[in-house]
Amino acid sequence: MPLPTRPLGRTGLPVTALGFGAMEVRGPRIWNGRTVTDAEAEAILHAVLDAGINFVDTANDYGRSEEFIGRFLSTRRGEYVLATKCGCHVVPAGDHDETPHVWTRDNLLRNIEESLSRLRTDHVDLLQLHNPSVADAEAGRLVEVLQEIRESGRTRFIGCSSTLPHLPTYIGWGVFDAFQIPYSGLERAHEESIAAAAAAGAGVIVRGGVARGEPGAGLGGKQRWDVWQKAGLDELLDPGENRTQFLLRFTLSHPGMATAIVGTKNPDHLAENVAAAGRGPLRPEVYAEAKRRLDEAGQRPSA
């Protein structure tokens, strides 16, 4: 059964409800990234498209991620919507790659040229600012730079990866076609921001929708997942459903989101995510009960 698709806001692009976050194929030395071989990257990226996922998200500072996408998926460019991010400035420092952001026109233009070269394409479908403050965006006149890049044909649409307290201002500007926003049942601070962005006509890309997966099976932290236990969500699982799958379906139940990007280099985890997304959102009564329990456990949307 094909994955369900939703329009990415006013872009009109039909994107699968499950997208792929390519940060997991960034390789070592970027935010404690795990080693990934060329063969592993090739296998998981092809598996993503073969599974029917049609939205791939990366960033200029995600290590080798753009390079791998270009090497292994450029011949399949027509099969997926490609998003990347700009404002990045990678500076090697000792045993780690520091990734500060430089909010200038010159740096954004450098980013898009570098990204297109790595991705082996002449355009991306969505170019996103990589989490600047409103002050940074205003001082660097970043929207004007994005519009310049769009007018040149190097991106079709423009967006912003952002968080509170900046999101209400960005949504109010009415210039971004899409927002990338962190959200899951275990971290509901941006629940109302997603609704507001969607109401304004922007497409919403959710990141963190499975809270990195259940500890042990995934990479999620114990403190974050303690909320699950406190809310007693095990009682709401369908037979054979695991916690990560339920959490993904909770995310997919938010009516304002278009796609939830989940990253992995593990083909088994990918298959589980695809199966969960294929089942669609939670039943309305289960979704409502999960939110009620999370509210009582202290995990509520931000005011």
φ, ψ for residue 251, nearest 5 deg: -60, -45
The domain tally of the chain equals 1
Q: How confident is the model at residue 96 (pLDDT cuts 50, 70, 90)?
A: very low
Report the C-alpha dihedral over residues 59, 88, 148, 163, rounded to 10 degrees: 80
Beta-carbon contacts of 208 under 8 Å, excluding residues fewer than 6 positions away, are 182, 183, 184, 187
Task: Note the pLDDT of residue 14.
Answer: 98
For 213-232, b/e burial (b = at least 16 CB within 10 A) is bbbeebebeeeebebbeebe
Does the residue 160 lie in any domain? yes
**DSSP string over 176-230:** -SEEEEE-BTTB-TTHHHHHHHHHTT-EEEEESTTTTSSBTTB---HHHHHHHHH
90, pLDDT greater than 80: no
Q: How confident is the model at residue 94 (pLDDT cuts 50, 70, 90)?
A: very low
C-alpha pair distances (Å), 187 with each of 206, 226, 299? 12, 12, 7
Does the residue 5 lie in any domain? no
124, pLDDT greater than 90: yes
Token couple for 46: 């092809």
Match 């039943």 to its residue by tokens.
Answer: 283
119, pLDDT greater than 90: yes
* Mean pLDDT in residue range 272-292: 96
* Mean pLDDT in residue range 53-72: 95
Residue 224: domain span: 16-296
Mapping DSSP to helix (H, G, I), strand (E, B) and coil, where does residue 74 land? Answer: helix
* Mean pLDDT in residue range 124-143: 97
C-alpha pair distances (Å), 97 with each of 63, 107, 214, 221, 235? 9, 18, 27, 23, 43
Is-contact 219 213, C-beta < 8 A? yes
* Mean pLDDT in residue range 170-189: 97
Does the residue 8 lie in any domain? no
* Mean pLDDT in residue range 248-262: 97
CATH of the domain at 138: 3.20.20.100
160, pLDDT greater than 90: yes
Report the C-alpha dihedral over residues 182, 184, 186, 191, rounded to 10 degrees: 80
Does the residue 11 lie in any domain? no
Does the residue 109 lie in any domain? yes
Does the residue 127 lie in any domain? yes
Does the residue 157 lie in any domain? yes
The pTM for the full model equals 0.94
Does the residue 90 lie in any domain? yes
pLDDT digits (tens, 9 = 90+) for 210-231: 876 677 666 556 677 889 999 9
Cα 275 to the chain's mean position, in Å? 19
pLDDT digits (tens, 9 = 90+) for 66-86: 999 999 999 999 999 999 999
